[in-house]
Amino acid sequence: MAETVRCGACGAEITLDDPILLAECVCGAEVRSTRHPASDGTDSTEIDLYKVLGVERGASADEIRDAYRRRARETHPDVGGDPTEFQTVQSAYETLSDPARRRAYDRTGRTRDRRRGPSGLVPDVVGSAPLDASRALLGAGYVPRIMLRPVPGSSRLANRVIGQRPGPGAALAPGEQVAIVIAVAEAGALWARVRELTRDFAQGVIDGFSAATSRSGRAHRVELGTGDTSRDRGRTVGAVAGSVTVGAVRTAGCLVRTVVWLAVTAAITVGSFVLGLFRPALGIAVFVIAIVVVTVLVTRGYRLQSQRWRSGDWV
């Protein structure tokens, strides 16, 4: 169920959807739900432990023990008593039977830390850190169940508990689950900018590489720009990588053609020498003619390859 709360700093109205109990106003002030009282130095859920046992504040240890036994028999669930009341009686005796805890209770009027509340009542963990909230719930006998709610990265509520169900002070048997809503900071503007720059740089690298290896008329004449944007820098890196790739492929092609030419020349030489053993004149003629033909073919092949390179066909 939604609740409308007015900001005490600027008067703006803020809607809190259940189980949200804490929000941040546009003015920066924190706004707390009024469905459940906030925990301050005097917890409104605290009760008088002497009245729970039915003794006076100056009662002796024996009187407190006898009163506890009597109240325990009256409230025990096995005899039809209320389990929550029985747990409250036990909590009262645990505090008043311990001299140190009794002195602290007489001095402060509280049995324990303000966030924990008496036994059988859900402690108030709104506004605390997730780890502290989990410890408080576990210490009170409840099982925390985590729910996440995204908030802007600059919010004061980031990494804090902003809601819980059941709310603070609700009667709940130990061992039950208590859902706590934790505000989680969304990716800030800096991280979003880093992702944007990375994406632009990667796209620039792809564009530069594609342009440097393209078979169009602009294939290997990509200019290395000096732009300030991340995409321009990425395009420069991609152009360099593409040019290196083109050069490597061209070099490999030249090496392959050279090796083939040398192999053919060696084969012609061997064949002409063998033929010259029987017919020297014919062997010399075949060698000369074959070398001239191979030279013409190789020269023509290099010329055609150069033309393809100039036109952008680099493979």
Each residue's pLDDT tens digit, 275-307: 777 778 877 887 888 888 878 877 777 677 666
User: In this structure, what is the dihedral angle of CA atoms 295, 298, 302, 307, given to the nearest 10 degrees?
Assistant: 100
Task: Pick 151 or 67 by higher pLDDT.
Answer: 67
Helices (H), 99-229: 99-108, 130-139, 189-212
Q: Do 120 and 84 meet the contact criterion of CB atoms below 8 Å apart? A: yes
In this structure, how many other beta carbons lie within 10 angstroms of the beta carbon of residue 183? Answer: 24
- Distance, CA of 178 to CA of 197 (rounded, Å): 43
pLDDT digits (tens, 9 = 90+) for 84-122: 788 888 888 988 998 888 887 887 666 654 434 444 678
Mean pLDDT, the chain, integer: 78
pLDDT digits (tens, 9 = 90+) for 233-252: 777 877 787 777 777 777 77
Q: Do 224 and 240 meet the contact criterion of CB atoms below 8 Å apart? A: yes
Could you identify the residue written with the tokens 């809190």?
Answer: 16
The three-class DSSP label of residue 145 is strand
Q: Residue 179: its pLDDT value, please?
A: 93
pLDDT digits (tens, 9 = 90+) for 153-166: 778 888 899 999 88
Of the ranges 23-37, 104-118, 176-190, which one carries the lowest mean pLDDT score? Answer: 104-118
pLDDT digits (tens, 9 = 90+) for 36-73: 654 444 443 457 889 999 999 889 999 999 999 999 99
- Distance, CA of 143 to CA of 294 (rounded, Å): 88
Q: Residue 63: its pLDDT value, please?
A: 93
Could you identify the residue written with the tokens 């061992």?
Answer: 175
The pLDDT of residue 152 is above 90: no
Q: Residue 218: its pLDDT value, please?
A: 44
Could you identify the residue written with the tokens 């342009």?
Answer: 211
- Distance, CA of 16 to CA of 181 (rounded, Å): 13
In this structure, how many other beta carbons lie within 10 angstroms of the beta carbon of residue 85? Answer: 16
- Report, as an integer, the average pLDDT of 15-37: 84
Helix axes 83-96, 99-108, angle to 10 degrees: 100
Nearest CA to 22 out of 144, 157, 185, 206 is that of 157
Nearest CA to 68 out of 55, 79, 80 is that of 55
- Distance, CA of 230 to CA of 56 (rounded, Å): 78
User: ω into residue 19 within 30 of 0, thus cis?
Assistant: yes
User: In this structure, what is the dihedral angle of CA atoms 166, 167, 170, 172, given to the nearest 10 degrees?
Assistant: 30
Pairing state between β 143-151 and 177-185: parallel
DSSP assignment letter at 245: H
Q: Residue 270: its pLDDT value, please?
A: 81
Task: Pick 177 or 110 by higher pLDDT.
Answer: 177
Nearest CA to 173 out of 91, 84, 92, 93 is that of 84
- Side by side, the strands of the sheet bearing 161-165 are 143-151, 177-185, 161-165
With a pLDDT cut of 70, the percent of the chain lying above it is: 81
Whole-model pTM: value is 0.40
DSSP assignment letter at 19: T
